[in-house]
Structure 1
Amino acid sequence: MSTSPIAGDGSQKQPKKTGTRTSRPKVKTGCTNCKLRRIKCDEKRPSCSQCVKSKKACTGYPPPPRRRPFEEAIIAPRPTTETSLAPAKSPAQHLVPTIIQAKRPRLLQQPLPHPRTPPLTPTATDSSLTLHRPSFSLAFDPQESLYFQLFRERTASELSGFFDSSFWTRSVLQECHAEEAVRHSVVALGALYKTLEKMTESPPTSPGDHFDPTDNAKMHWEVAFRHYSDALTIMFSSAQETQSSQRSSLMATVLLACFDSFIGDHKQAIVQIQNGLRLLEKLREERRRAFLPKPEEPVEQDLIQMFTRLAIQAKSYDMAFHFPHPFVIRLTPQEGDAVSPSSEGGSPVSTNQTPIPERFESLIEGRLAWDALLEKIFRFTETMFQFTTSTSPMGILPISLKQYGMVFRNEIEAWSRAFDDILASRTAPGKSSQEKAAIAVLKMFQIMGQVLFLMTFSDSELQFDTFLPQFQAIVDLASEVVGDEERRAAARRCPDPRWCQHAAGHTDIFGGHEFTAPHIKPSFSADLGIVPPLFVVATKCRDPFIRRKAIQLLRSSSRREGMWDSELTARIGMWIAAIEEEGTGFGEPPSPYTGSSTTGRGSVGSPGSLSNESVGFSDDVPLGPGGNARWGNGGSRRESIPASVIGRAEKRTIPEDKRVMVRAVQFDLRERIATLQCGTRNLTPGMQDMKTRTTRIIW
């Protein structure tokens, strides 16, 4: 490289004039061959020009670089791709992304009264037959048609999560033929999935043989918000009050709530759910006033199921993060209208559910029975809290009321026995990957529900230690799900492992070990999965090994399940672990902070990374039966941890005076900012909490 004389050295020589070249950013993309040969690659598909000239087999392009080692892309990212096209003018102009803090329609910003009665969980699938109408020849323009096809072929199944759902794969597609609000909502979700797809393609901005300037993340993002706004406009401007139009509004509300959850606007998602519950109760009231001999549900069962699950999801979200009003879903009448608890301890609102059988005949039967039982439990605890005094600790029922809940403990155990055969069948030959995962996920939820319900009557965090076998079972089942998902993703994305670069140069949260599941792409589903149970383990399990495995599973892949985000929950678990394990000798847990600040009494700084010895990992073993995902440097089960390390950890149980619980979480998933607060479990309202700590994290 040529150099010029240094100013002030006394030299009278004029600098030699050389040709200058335009400064350009260093290009880091290109096929694998060109990168190894250190030559410029034109990135043509299927083979670049350099490989064609040298008669080499073009081995393809490496994956896009990650902004951080834990995921390939942020769920519902804010696209930054520049486009030369002007934003389309439409009623959604105020929603297109410039974007994320754009104003919502004023009507949706008003606080809503709590719905009086949520959906009652059905006991069986809808027996009515609906004539199937193929989803072809709809009134779409060419661009909208592509998004609809994407929804029909891929998005619908992904929204279903681990469980098959006729709502997404049949009912919604049928409704597109007649209802504009549903049609716009479907296009919006299809465009949103296309945005995520473009953000995770490899490489994300490489030109192909047929480069389309309109095929970029920002353009798909704008289309998504335009159709989202169109769907809202149609829903709230329609003057029709027919049962058909109201049913369509209910369906569109489910889709829009999923859209809001996808982009990380949990408050707006809760408002959507509240609106839908109010409309559903209105339809039910009309049927009751009609004095029908048998007042059946006003809409089909799969739509009732969706609202039941959305209500349960929003309720679980509030119980975990303690939202303020009006963003709280209530399942029972408010305090002036409550009835006294019955001696049988049944649900405060009769749901007319059939008893749990001795043995479930199918997975869907088990899922419906669990939804019904969980809804009854939520109704029961809501009613019981109305009879507690203002001096009761937050989220804890007096032990004197425990007798009313024992019937639910028996029902949870009965459900577990009825599910045993299905749980054992998940390893049978011929069982599909989706069904295996669904069985594991449903069992995880039953275990989590049992632990949290029994702990509702305890004011001591020490009581969680009695559930260590349950916490271990949750982690083992989640390992199966993630491991199998990683194995299938690796086989699909990197059929030849020799050319795989997904895990190259990336470390897990323990520091220095292989990234657990590098092939799993970011995902969104409308249904819950592994995130809530792992969050409970990460925040309530004080076994350092089980807790760290739960955190690593949460960070092994970027996933959003309804309103539950894997990265946020993992960072909350890391922060709680950092507080509780200070000075215990367990080894400092990984830091949840990235450019964060901490405030409050005794705030925690950024702890260091764990050493192999302090964590206790030994030989490299697979993460569950999936095959490819690994537990960092080993240790997917407790037996692989050296006995000496286990002995030291078990003798140093975290004392009760160091244990804390999450008291409030305020966050914005779109901006990736959260303010966390923890404190004492049995604190009486109004008393000073000496354990209060607050932190702000940015990721």
Structure 2
Amino acid sequence: MAPLQRCVPSPGGSEFFHQDRYSTLACNVLARGMYHSMAKSQGTFWTRIVPQLLQSVPAVKAAAAAFGASYETTMLQESAAYENLERVHQYSRALHLLQTQLQGNQHGVLPQMTACVLLAFADTLRLRNNTALMHLRGAYALMSRLSAADDIDEDILLLFRKLDLHSVTYSTGLEPSLYLPCRAMGNVTTTRSIDHSLFEQLHGTYRFISSACDYRYVNQRQVPTHLRIEQLRYVAIWHSWLSSPELQYPLATWEGGCVSVVSVPILRAQCLTALILVSTVLDPYQAAYDKYAEKFHEIVMLSELVVASEEENWNAHPDTLPSFTPEPGLSHPLFVTATKYRHPQWRRRAVKVLSRLSREGPWCGEVDARIVLRLIDVEEGLCGMGAVNNKEGTQLGATAVPERMRIHSCRLNGIVDARGRDLGKHASSMNRRYAEVRLSRCHDVEELLAFRDGGHSAVTMQTGRHWNTWTEEVPLC
């Protein structure tokens, strides 16, 4: 499908024409962005159900138009002043209609949830992720009101629930908005049960990680026994998943270009990432990640082959719209690899693939890759030597960056202009953009643990005595 051409307003133009155009664009983009889904009904939600809701529920149509307008200005680079104003108009209209619908409880829960999620997509395209999270939590509040009488397909509900994984993987330590019981792994025989079972385990794993993070920088004797047991349980679960026949996709199969479904390799990369993170969540040393070199290598190789396959398809159909994928994909596994695995070559391979990815929920390949490159420059610069970029650095591998020089946390505060103004609130095509990134490094982990062992609180721990925290502005364009 060829990208839509810029619409120039005319005195006789109608706002309904723009709304129809943007909402149609939204459906086309979202239908194409569900290639990771295994359940057919999740894809048909965007191709059949949402287009029907557009015709019957004004709030859904307005929210879809808001997403379409944001997509056009950010992904198709239609950034004239008129398009920016039109985007704001569509967004404001959608908010008003959704508020009216919520007050009157009209049309049922599913259309309201859909409108909330579409508004979240509109915000996350503009990297306004805090506002997007607010809309997403609104959708989950509505989901809690569902009853058996609503009779919504479980696969469609899974589509909404998957978005919660974006929140907890994009913002480390954030507790999931949903509470789902994590059932024991049984026999997985169908792609549908893989999708559902794997989501439940991923969701439970990141819920555990969010609670275990509080004990990362304490003496290991102080870690509650139940957390240790739970950690071992999840480690066993992920080893079991990774050895299951359903997730065995040999790289040789990919090299032949014979695989038509990319879902399983992407899910395998997510499993590898979950295993690494849950295994290291209670270890205060960044060097703990070094022992998972083979897992990181597999993530990079799988990602390279998946992206190459998608780019080959893109080259064969150059008029295809740039993709926006609502559900989790490869961005998080690659970001973890590039930031936590300090091998000079492998982390740069991860960054290269990350930069080639399109949009996956709050993840933006171009922005995330630039952030990681700055982090790499900082870590390698702190070493005070250029060995990490030459033969000697390659021989050192992941140990090229000493523990005391490693960045412990990297968080995007927002996108700002040269004057530090938040571009989510002061958007302009003329602004030079910067990613405002917050980095933290521990001076001496052993001294920090001894300090905590003396009875000091976690709040006291976050002082300049043990931590160096600063903000970097990473140029984006």
CA contact (8 A) 2:342 2:397 kept: no
**2:90 aligned partner, one-letter code:** H
Partner of residue 548 from structure 1, selected from 338, 343, 348? 348
Partner of residue 313 from structure 2, selected from 485, 488, 492? 488
SS of match in other structure, 2:282: coil
**2:436 aligned partner, one-letter code:** A
In 1, distance between residues paired with 2:257 and 2:305? 17
Q: What does residue 361 of structure 1 align with? A: 190
**2:143 aligned partner, one-letter code:** L
Offset at residue 304 of structure 1 (A): 2.0
Q: What does residue 372 of structure 1 align with? A: 200
Going from structure 1 to structure 2, the CA distance change for 1:251 and 1:667 (only over 3 Å counts) comes to same
CA contact (8 A) 1:555 1:570 kept: yes
Going from structure 1 to structure 2, the CA distance change for 1:651 and 1:196 (only over 3 Å counts) comes to closer
Offset at residue 481 of structure 1 (A): 1.7
Matched, 1:178 2:56: yes
Going from structure 1 to structure 2, the CA distance change for 1:556 and 1:427 (only over 3 Å counts) comes to closer
Offset at residue 179 of structure 1 (A): 1.1
Deviates more, 1:160-169 or 1:181-190: 160-169
Q: What does residue 138 of structure 1 align with? A: none
Deviates more, 1:164-173 or 1:174-183: 164-173
Partner deviation per Cα, 1:253-294 (whole Å, 9 max, x = no partner): 11111111112211110110121222222x15xx5xxxxxxx
In 2, distance between residues paired with 1:313 and 1:237? 28
Matches within 5 A, 1:373-388: 373-383=201-211
Offset at residue 222 of structure 1 (A): 4.0
In 2, distance between residues paired with 1:260 and 1:315? 17
**1:455 aligned partner, one-letter code:** T
CA contact (8 A) 1:662 1:678 kept: yes
SS of match in other structure, 2:37: coil
Partner deviation per Cα, 1:360-411 (whole Å, 9 max, x = no partner): 432x43222211101122333445568x6xx9559x9937431222222222
Q: What does residue 466 of structure 2 align with? A: 689
CA contact (8 A) 2:355 2:365 kept: yes
In 2, distance between residues paired with 1:487 and 1:260? 30
Matched, 1:269 2:132: yes
Q: What does residue 436 of structure 2 align with? A: 674
**1:698 aligned partner, one-letter code:** P
Going from structure 1 to structure 2, the CA distance change for 1:237 and 1:150 (only over 3 Å counts) comes to closer
User: Given the two structures, how large is their TM-score scaled by the length of structure 2?
Assistant: 0.78
Matched, 1:417 2:243: yes
SS of match in other structure, 2:56: coil
Partner deviation per Cα, 1:316-347 (whole Å, 9 max, x = no partner): 2221xx6xxxxx55447xxxxxxxxxxxxxxx
Going from structure 1 to structure 2, the CA distance change for 1:653 and 1:352 (only over 3 Å counts) comes to closer
SS of match in other structure, 2:359: strand
SS of match in other structure, 1:679: strand
In 1, distance between residues paired with 2:124 and 2:312? 28
Going from structure 1 to structure 2, the CA distance change for 1:585 and 1:440 (only over 3 Å counts) comes to farther
CA contact (8 A) 1:524 1:560 kept: yes
**1:675 aligned partner, one-letter code:** V
CA contact (8 A) 1:161 1:529 kept: no
Q: What does residue 497 of structure 1 align with? A: none
Partner of residue 439 from structure 1, selected from 255, 264, 268? 264
Larger radius of gyration: 1
Going from structure 1 to structure 2, the CA distance change for 1:227 and 1:470 (only over 3 Å counts) comes to same
Partner deviation per Cα, 1:102-150 (whole Å, 9 max, x = no partner): xxxxxxxxxxxxxxxxxxxxxxxxxxxxxxxxxxxxxxx5544444444
Partner deviation per Cα, 1:414-458 (whole Å, 9 max, x = no partner): 22222545524964989564x1x3222111111111100111121
Q: What does residue 160 of structure 2 align with? A: 307
Offset at residue 476 of structure 1 (A): 0.4
Going from structure 1 to structure 2, the CA distance change for 1:352 and 1:541 (only over 3 Å counts) comes to closer
Matches within 5 A, 1:284-299: 284=146, 287=147, 299=152
Going from structure 1 to structure 2, the CA distance change for 1:560 and 1:393 (only over 3 Å counts) comes to farther
Going from structure 1 to structure 2, the CA distance change for 1:690 and 1:428 (only over 3 Å counts) comes to closer
Identical aligned residues as a percent: 20
State the superposition RMSD in angstroms: 3.8
Partner of residue 564 from structure 1, selected from 334, 351, 363? 363
Structure holding more helix per residue: 2
Q: Which residues of structure 1 form unaligned runs of 5+?
A: 1-80, 91-140, 201-215, 288-294, 323-327, 333-348, 495-519, 589-609, 617-643
Going from structure 1 to structure 2, the CA distance change for 1:192 and 1:383 (only over 3 Å counts) comes to closer
Going from structure 1 to structure 2, the CA distance change for 1:402 and 1:269 (only over 3 Å counts) comes to same
Deviates more, 1:255-264 or 1:659-668: 659-668
User: Given the two structures, how large is their TM-score scaled by the length of structure 1?
Assistant: 0.55
CA contact (8 A) 1:531 1:554 kept: yes
CA contact (8 A) 1:544 1:586 kept: no
Q: What does residue 335 of structure 2 align with? A: 535
CA contact (8 A) 2:53 2:60 kept: yes
Offset at residue 355 of structure 1 (A): 3.0
Q: What does residue 639 of structure 1 align with? A: none
Q: What does residue 288 of structure 2 align with? A: 463
CA contact (8 A) 1:254 1:273 kept: yes
**1:416 aligned partner, one-letter code:** L
CA contact (8 A) 1:266 1:563 kept: yes
SS of match in other structure, 2:244: helix
Partner deviation per Cα, 1:503-556 (whole Å, 9 max, x = no partner): xxxxxxxxxxxxxxxxx9854221222211111011100111101111122223
